[in-house]
Amino acid sequence: MNTVVKIENLVKRYKELVAVDHMNLAIEQGEIFGLLGPNGSGKSTIINCLLSLTSYDKGEITVFGEKMRADNYSVKGRIGVVLQNVAVFDELTVYENIDYFCSLYIKDKAKRKELVKEAIAFVGLEDFVKFYPKKLSGGLLRRLNIACGIAHKPELIIFDEPTVAVDPQSRNKILEGIQELNRQGATVIYTSHYMEEVEQICSRIAIIDKGQLVATGTKEELKSMIQTGETIRVEVPEMTDEVLFGLEKLSHVLSVEYNEGLATIKCSGGRHNVLHVLEYLNNTETSFGRVFAEQPTLNDVFLEITGKELRDEVQ
Amino acid sequence: MKTVFKIAKKALPAASIYFCIFCGLMIAFTFLAGKDQEKNFQATKLDILLEDKDNSVLSEALTEYLGKENEVSEDFNRELVSELIFNGVSDYVVYIEDGFEEKFLSGEQGGLERQSIRANVAFLDEKIELFFRYVRAELALGKTTEEACKAVLLNCEKQAKTVVTSDKGQSMLSPGYYFFTYISYILPAILIMVLGPIMNAYYKKEIKMRTDCGKLSTRKQNIAIVSGIAAVAMMLWGLLMIMGVCIYGRDFTVSTYLCGMFNSFLFLLVSVAISVLIGVLVRGGDALNGASNLIGMGMAFMCGVFVPSEMLPDGVNKFAEFLPASWYMKNVRMLYETDNMADVIGEYLGNCGVIAIFAVAIFCIFLVFVKRKRVV
């Protein structure tokens, strides 16, 4: 596999604040690479450094094997960018906006016309080509923003929180679109703080907190990094302390919580955990209702790795 | 460049309102001023009927005095007076009776009868009284009647140069003067309205970041923006110049028009620099509209476009020296107050240099702000 983006020892400071702290990342060709982190964790700063939109204090960034610089236009031509804030001209129509941003990469008018049409069809804005951005809903505006970023068919596409403040339908359309672009051969970098989105589309994920890379790997690899393997929830109308202690002593059980008729049992890996729990309840003649078993989510991983305390946003 | 035009096109309705209103006013002011005040002004000569029965030194001196600025007819026929007055042939009648000089010298009243036909010639009464006061003053110095009359008549010949001003104090010059004067208001006002949104759009943080991600170099992007802005500004200036020729073509001499054109071109550069600077500092249509009014009108008022600088306090005039429009206006006045441009060409070019320095200085300030905005 070819490494498309390589970030080595990247440090970016805003006066006293260290926004990116000795970051190392390697993104391979064909991946949908997720940058996951709470607000103010440094995701957008990494993207800005990667695109040479801002200078950095230390480190090196290589894209397509070339050192990334503000004047490396050949590399910039192979990158598509969908920034966090919608970047379109209010004075231009949907078509004119896509055409303008495509013209930053493609000079040939005929070719550009074709690409613009394809981009419009890709994001489903065919009925809005003559609309001005102010007439578009939040979801349509995000789709326009995406069309402006991908019209020139880039090999590497960077999506910086593209689904902020959009309705579920538009979000789904956007996520499907990103997967489709990846199937067509584009390498994607996707930043978000929505766990379910990252879990849904990313093949590899980096979790960032306070400017540092705290974990990286596939979903499965990340999930295996945390203690919680499986969470079992059992409806138990009444439970004695004796039964509660008994459950905690079962093999692979990490913790048991009982609250308002619901027992939550967290297990650390192991097999047939549900069977063992239900067998114990039967043996102790404890009546129970519905049973739910869940594998750990990225949310569990994220919270376990980054902690549950609230963060102050730093932009 | 195409995008620049598209953005400019969106700003055209607001700008064209300015353009139409002020072009209309300019034309109206020019024609009103030209017809009613300037062109129609001439020293009025009254027709005076005079009968001199005294034939003294004083009576003859008075006749000569009145004859300097009026048509005096001594072909006096008392029977025809009423008819001449009725038909409007004569405006004023003077009867100098026998013994008039003697009475005057002895300080007695009488010996002189006057008849004003119309109220607006009553000033002639005052003029005659003035003549008597002067003669008395000369006599008081010990002069003889003859010497006194001579001295008064001599003084009357030394007439001060009269500069006719309107009720506002504005010099009544050629209509073309108004054309070039109002340009100093129209140019910055319209350009802020048109170029401001272009700069707003291109230097919006998100757009700037996004375009900086593109394959097109910053230099090429800037060339495209500058070309677009230059084209828009030149189109506006060209339109105004053509309009000037069409409306005031007869009024312009070649040298006046060419010098005025060059002067206004330099002011165009200043206006463009101001507009692009405002475009990166002020965001939004309403704010730009406000800035356009504030800068356009403020500068015009302080630099003597609407109110003549002679009527403004010294402090304002001194402050206006730091505004480019005041140097532009100096040149405009010079063009229309000077018979021969060659005599003042040095001063004219000096003023042009100051305007050019203003343009460069404001553009440098703009570049500083743009550079600061470039850092994310």
Give the model's pLDDT for residue B118: 66
CA distance A105 to A102: 6
The structural domains of chain B, ordered by start, are: 2-38+167-374 (no CATH), 47-157 (3.40.1710.10)
Q: Which DSSP string do the residues of B133-154 spell out, in sequence order? A: HHHHHHHHTT--HHHHHHHHHH
What class is the A227-295 domain?
alpha beta
Output B196 or B8, whichever has higher pLDDT: B196
| pTM for the model | 0.70
Give the model's pLDDT for residue B169: 41
Rounded mean pLDDT of A242-255?
88
Give the model's pLDDT for residue B138: 87
Contact B3 A96 (CB under 8 A): yes
Give the model's pLDDT for residue B360: 96
CB burial string A201-211: b at 16+ within 10 A, e below: bbebbbbbbbb
- Residue B10 forms contact with A (CB below 8 Å): yes
Rounded mean pLDDT of A140-161?
92
Decide if pLDDT at A157 tops 80.
yes
Lowest mean pLDDT among A37-41, A156-160, A253-257, B35-39: B35-39
Give the model's pLDDT for residue B168: 40
Contact A91 B6 (CB under 8 A): yes
pLDDT in tens, A249-302: 888 888 899 998 999 998 877 678 888 899 999 999 899 999 998 888 777 777
Contact B215 A92 (CB under 8 A): no
* Burial (CB count <10 Å: 0-12, 13-18, 19+), residue B94: buried
Lowest mean pLDDT among A40-49, B36-45, B273-282: B36-45
pLDDT in tens, B136-153: 888 888 888 889 898 888
Nearest CA distance, B14 vs chain A (angstrom): 14
From chain A, which residues contact B within 8 Å (Cβ)?
48, 51, 53-54, 70-71, 73-74, 76-77, 79, 81, 83, 85-92, 96, 100-101, 103-105, 148
Contact B215 A105 (CB under 8 A): yes
Nearest chain B Cα to A51, which residue?
B213
**E runs forming strands in B151-278:** none
Confidence of residue B271 (pLDDT cuts 50, 70, 90): very high
Tell me: ipTM over 0.95: no
Give the model's pLDDT for residue B119: 61
In chain B, % helix, strand, coil (3-state, to 5) comes to 70, 5, 20
Give the model's pLDDT for residue A164: 82
Output A15 or A113, whichever has higher pLDDT: A113
Query: Which residues touch B293 (CB under 8 Å, ≥6 apart)?
Result: B189
Return the amino acid letter for A79: I
Contact A70 B214 (CB under 8 A): no
Decide if pLDDT at A232 tops 50.
yes
Give the model's pLDDT for residue B376: 41
Interface probe with B: pick from A15, A50, A90, A108, most Cβ of B within 10 Å: A90
- Do A3-224 and A227-295 have matching folds? no
- Residue B154 forms contact with A (CB below 8 Å): no
Interface probe with A: pick from B4, B210, B211, most Cβ of A within 10 Å: B210
Nearest CA distance, B21 vs chain A (angstrom): 25
Decide if pLDDT at B375 tops 70.
no
Nearest CA distance, B206 vs chain A (angstrom): 5
Cα-based distances in Å from A88 to A141, A171, B258, B288: 9, 19, 43, 20
How many CB atoms sit inside 10 A of residue B345's CB? 14
Decide if pLDDT at B135 tops 70.
yes
Interface probe with B: pick from A45, A48, A53, A101, most Cβ of B within 10 Å: A53
Q: Is the dihedral of CA A15, A17, A22, A25 positive or negative?
A: negative
Decide if pLDDT at B255 tops 90.
no
Confidence of residue B75 (pLDDT cuts 50, 70, 90): confident
Q: In DSSP terms, which residues pair with A276 in a beta bridge?
A: none
Nearest chain B Cα to A157, which residue?
B213
CA distance A174 to A188: 13
Q: Is the dihedral of CA B199, B201, B202, B204 positive or negative?
A: positive
Nearest CA distance, B194 vs chain A (angstrom): 13
Nearest CA distance, A16 vs chain B (angstrom): 17
Interface probe with A: pick from B209, B221, B373, most Cβ of A within 10 Å: B209
Decide if pLDDT at B350 tops 90.
yes
Give the model's pLDDT for residue A308: 58
Please give the CATH topology (third level) of the domain spanning A3-224: Rossmann fold (3.40.50)
- Residue B212 forms contact with A (CB below 8 Å): yes
Query: Which residues touch B335 (CB under 8 Å, ≥6 apart)?
Result: B177, B180, B256, B259, B260, B263, B341, B348
pLDDT in tens, B289-341: 889 889 988 888 888 888 777 778 888 888 888 999 999 998 988 888 777 77
Contact A76 B215 (CB under 8 A): yes
Q: Is the dihedral of CA A280, A286, A291, A297 positive or negative?
A: negative
Location of structure tokens 């105004």: B240
**Tokens coding B300:** 């015009």
Give the model's pLDDT for residue B55: 87
Confidence of residue A309 (pLDDT cuts 50, 70, 90): low
Residues of A in contact with B205 (CB under 8 A): 85
Contact A148 B210 (CB under 8 A): yes
Nearest CA distance, A307 vs chain B (angstrom): 30
Give the model's pLDDT for residue B88: 67
Output A299 or B43, whichever has higher pLDDT: A299
Q: Is the dihedral of CA B111, B117, B121, B123 positive or negative?
A: positive
What count of CB pairs under 8 Å joins A to B? 64
CA distance A90 to A297: 40
**Residue B214 near residue A104, CB atoms below 8 Å:** yes
* Domain residue extents for chain A: 3-224, 227-295
Nearest CA distance, A111 vs chain B (angstrom): 16
Give the model's pLDDT for residue A38: 82
Lowest mean pLDDT among B27-31, B89-93, B255-259, B265-269: B27-31
Give the helix ranges, DSSP H, for B43-164. Answer: 57-69, 78-86, 100-105, 123-140, 145-157
Decide if pLDDT at A314 tops 70.
no
**Residue A229 near residue A220, CB atoms below 8 Å:** no
Give the model's pLDDT for residue B166: 45
Return the amino acid letter for A87: A
In this complex, which of A86, A91, A105 lies closest to B201 when CB atoms are compared?
A: A91
Rounded mean pLDDT of B355-363?
95
CA distance A136 to B210: 20
Nearest CA distance, B202 vs chain A (angstrom): 8
Output A159 or B9, whichever has higher pLDDT: A159
In percent, the amount of chain B with pLDDT more than 70 equals 84
Rounded mean pLDDT of B23-40?
61
* Burial (CB count <10 Å: 0-12, 13-18, 19+), residue A287: exposed
